[in-house]
Chain A
C-alpha cells in the first residue's frame, strides 16, 4: 500500500433525505386560494407615479418598478381563454415531476406551455392536457382548467399544478 494519501476506490455512503418544508406563499397566497376556487388573479400596478405600470401573471405583491403594493385583478375563471406563447414536450423530467403529475391525474409525455392572456403583460408557465405533442403549436387558443376538471378531483394542491389548459373549443367564444 502506498503511503501517500491517494484514492483509487473511494468509499461512498448513503445519506437519505426526507425533510418536509412548510412553504409560505406570503402576500400572493390569494392567488393559490383563488386557483382552488377556479379563479386566476393577476396583480396590477396602479401607482400614477410609476413609469412602468403593468399587470403581472404570475402575480407579485409589489410593483418591481415603483415598489408600491399592487392591486389584484381577476383575469378569468373557468374556461378563461389564452394563447400559447411557446411550449415544450416533457419526456425526461427531473425527479418528482411524475409523482406531481400523478397527483393531478396526468402522466408523461407532458406538455409545458407559456400562456399569454389579454389583460396581462407577462406570461405564465403551465401545462397543456388532452393534446398530442405533435398537435401543439405557438398561437394555439387554450382554455383554463382547474382541479375539479381533473380525473382524480382530489381537491386543490395549492401549487401551480392547480391550473392547466386544454385546447379551446373552436365553436365557443369562452370567457376572457
Chain B
C-alpha cells in the first residue's frame, strides 16, 4: 500500500535476550525435532550462567509463562500443530504458546512475537524455540517443497526452485550494475567473497554445518545451479534447533548478570511475487538523503528488498541508530544466496544502493573490518534450518554482545559434544568490546523481513 512514512512504535517496557542454546546443524540428524529442541533448550537454560540450578528450578523460579515455536514448513516434518508437540515435550503445559510461520523469517518473527509478549507486559519470561526437519526428503523434493512458498498459481511451477527465483533478481542486479559501470567480474568476485568468508567463519563455529576454506575460484567454478548463482552461492539445507529466552527487565536481572537489551524491532513486507512490485520512492534511512537516489525510478524493482528497508527503518529509528555502519559492531544477515547478501547490505544501509559489493570488497564485512557480518557463518556456512535460523542469528548476536563468543565457540567440550574436533588453526571471532548488533531474518524473495537491534545495557 501507499505509505507516507513507516510507523515507528515503542516497546512499552524494556525487553532482554538472556540466554540461547543450539544443537549442531547438519544435512541429516540422528535426532528428531522434539529431541533437538529439547537439547537446544537444555543448553539455553543450563549453560548461559543463569542464576538457577537446573531445569526444574528454571521452570519454578523463572516461570516461563509463554512460548513461541517456529517451524516453516509442515511438509518437511509431516507434523501439523508442531508447536503442540514441541511445547508438550518441553513439559511446558499448561502455559500458552503460539506457532509462527513466516517462511525464511520464521525464526525472526518468533523472536519478535516473544518481544511483543514481554514488552506488552503480558509475560515476563518467554521461550522461543525453532527447528526444521529438512532431512526426510531428497534435496530435489526439498526444493520443490520450499518453492511452494512461491505463488502456487503463477510461479511455483516455473522451476520449483528458489535458487532460480533469486537468480531472476541476480540477473537484473548484474545488468543494472553493469549499466552503472561495474563489471560482471567485479560482482562475481564480491559474490564469491561472501561465500568464502561465510564458509571460513563457519570453521570456528562448532554448531556450523559447512566449515570450509574455499578459494574465490572454487566458488565461481562450483556447480552451476544456474548463472550467476552456483552451488556455493546458495545456503544450506539443514536440520537442527535453536532456543532462546526473552525476558522483562526485572526477570532478566534476576536470572543473569549479562542481559542484552533488544532495543529495536522492525517488521516489513512486500508482495509475494517479485514481479508485482510497483515502483516507489526509495525509503531513506537516517543517514541517507534524496539527492543520493534522484535517478532511481524503479525502486525496489528486482534488485532491492522493500521489506528489509522498511524493517530496518523502523528498528533503527526505534533504537536511535543514526548510521548502521558506524553504530553497529556486528551484524547477522540473511545470506540465503550471495546475491541476497549484497542486496541486503544496501537495504540495511551498510552501503548506499548500487554499492553493496563494496561492503564485502572493502573488508568492512570481516572481523577486522568496520562491521563484521555473519561471523556465525550465516546461512551459507552455518545453517538454514529454517524455523531455527532467525533465532540462531539473535543468539549469536546476543552472545557476542555478552562477550561470550569464546565461551560458546572455543570450548573443546562443545566441539566434542557434536563429535567434532576443534580445529588446530582455531581463532577467536569475538568482536572486541561489542556493544551493538543487528539480526535480520528474511522470507521468500523478500515477502517478510524482521530486523532486531540488540545492545549491551548502559
* A86 near B158: Cβ-Cβ < 8 Å: no
Could you tell me if B275 and A122 are in contact, using CB atoms closer than 8 angstroms? yes
Are A161 and B159 interface neighbours, CB within 8 A?
no
Q: How far is A52 from B276 in the complex, measured between Cα atoms in Å?
A: 13
User: Are A56 and B276 in contact, with the CB atoms below 8 A?
Assistant: yes
Q: Are A87 and B171 in contact (CB under 8 A)?
A: yes
Q: Is the CB of B143 within 8 A of A93?
A: yes
Whether A89 contacts B226 in the complex (CB less than 8 A), given A114-B275, A114-B302, comes out as yes
B155 lies within 8 A of chain A by Cβ: yes
Report yes or no: B164 in contact with A121, Cβ–Cβ below 8 A.
Answer: no
Mark out the residues of chain B between 410 and 426 whose CB falls within 8 Å of any chain A CB in the assembled complex: none
Contacts A114-B274, A114-B275, A127-B158 given; indicate if A95 touches B153 (C-beta within 8 A).
no
- A124-B152 contact, Cβ under 8 Å, with A86-B168, A88-B168: no
Complex contact B276–A122 (CB within 8 A)? yes
Q: How many residues of B contact A (CB 8 A)?
A: 47
Q: A142 to nearest B CB, angstroms?
A: 15
A94 to B164, CA, bound (A): 10
Q: Return chain A residues, CB-CB under 8 Å to B80.
A: none
A-B contact count (CB 8 A): 129
Interface residues of B in 143-159 (CB under 8 A from A): 143-147, 151-155, 157-159
Q: Are B175 and A114 in contact (CB under 8 A)?
A: no
Closest Cβ–Cβ distance, residue A161 to chain B (whole Å): 6
Whether B160 sits at the interface, judged by CB under 8 Å, is yes
**Which residues of B sit under 8 angstroms from A28, Cβ to Cβ?**
153
The main secondary structure of chain B at its interface with chain A is: loop
Q: Min CB distance, A66 to chain B, in Å? A: 10
Tell me which residues from 113 to 168 in chain A have a Cβ below 8 Å from any Cβ of chain B.
114, 121-127, 133, 138, 159-161
B276 touches A86 (CB 8 A): no
Known: A56-B276, A93-B164, A125-B275. A138 touches B158 (CB 8 A): no
Are A138 and B144 neighbours in the complex by a CB distance under 8 Å? no
Contact B2 A51 (CB under 8 A): yes
Render B243-278 as a binary contact track against A, CB cut-off 8 A, 1 for contact: 000000000000000000000000000000111111
Residues from chain A with Cβ under 8 Å of B226 in the complex = 88-92
Given the complex of chains A and B, what is the CA–CA distance between A29 and B453 in angstroms?
A: 45
Q: How large is the interface on A (under 10, 10 to 19, 20 to 34, 35 or more residues)?
A: 35 or more
Q: Provide the bound-state CA to CA distance between A65 and B1, in Å.
A: 6
CB pair A138 B171 closer than 8 Å: yes
Query: Is A4 among interface residues, defined by CB-CB distance under 8 A?
Result: no
User: Is there contact, CB below 8 Å, between A88 and B175?
Assistant: no
Q: Does A49 contact B (CB under 8 A)?
A: no
In the docked arrangement, what's the CA distance between A86 and B175, Å?
9
Q: Do A85 and B160 touch across chains, with their CB atoms under 8 A apart?
A: no
B185 CB-CB contact with A under 8 Å: no
Give chain A interface residues in 60-86, CB to chain B under 8 Å.
Answer: 64-65, 85-86
A58 to B274, CA, bound (A): 11
Least Cβ distance of A119 to chain B in Å?
A: 15
- Residues of chain A lying within 8 A (CB to CB) of residue B170: 88
Is B116 at the interface (CB under 8 A from chain A)? no
Residues on the A chain within 8 Å of B278, using CB: 52, 54, 121-122
A48 at the interface (CB under 8 A from B): no
B172 CB-CB contact with A under 8 Å: yes
- One of B2, B30, B277 near A65 (C-beta < 8 A): B2
A23 is an interface residue with CB less than 8 A from chain B = yes
Task: Tell me whether A10 and B30 are in contact (CB under 8 A).
Answer: yes
A24 to chain B, nearest CB (A): 10
Instruction: Give the docked Cα–Cα distance between A79 and B276 (Å).
Output: 23
Cross-chain contact A86 with B302 (CB below 8 angstroms):
yes
Nearest-Cβ distance from residue A123 to partner chain B, whole angstroms: 4
B125-167 contacts to A, CB under 8 A, are 138, 140-147, 151-155, 157-161, 163-165, 167
In the bound complex, residues from chain B placing their C-beta under 8 Å from that of A18 are none
Is the CB–CB distance between A94 and B141 below 8 Å? Answer: yes
Check B95 for interface membership: any CB of A closer than 8 A. Answer: no
**Least distance between B339 CB and chain A CB atoms (Å):** 11
In whole angstroms, how far apart are the Cα atoms of A85 and B273 in the complex? 14
Closest A residue by C-beta to B161:
A94
Q: Are B275 and A87 in contact (CB under 8 A)?
A: no
Residues of B within 8 A of A (CB): 1-2, 30-32, 78, 138, 140-147, 151-155, 157-161, 163-165, 167-172, 175, 223-227, 273-278, 302
Q: Supply 14 A–B pairs (Cβ within 8 Å), ascending by A.
A: A88-B170, A91-B224, A92-B226, A94-B141, A94-B143, A95-B141, A95-B144, A95-B160, A112-B159, A114-B168, A124-B275, A125-B158, A125-B168, A160-B155
Across the A-B interface, give the 5 residue pairs with the lowest CB-CB distance, nearest first: A94-B160, A123-B275, A94-B144, A94-B143, A88-B167
A85-B172, A86-B171 given. 18 additional CB < 8 A pairs? Answer: A56-B276, A58-B273, A58-B276, A65-B1, A88-B167, A88-B168, A88-B226, A93-B159, A93-B164, A94-B141, A94-B160, A112-B168, A114-B274, A124-B154, A125-B154, A125-B273, A126-B158, A127-B158
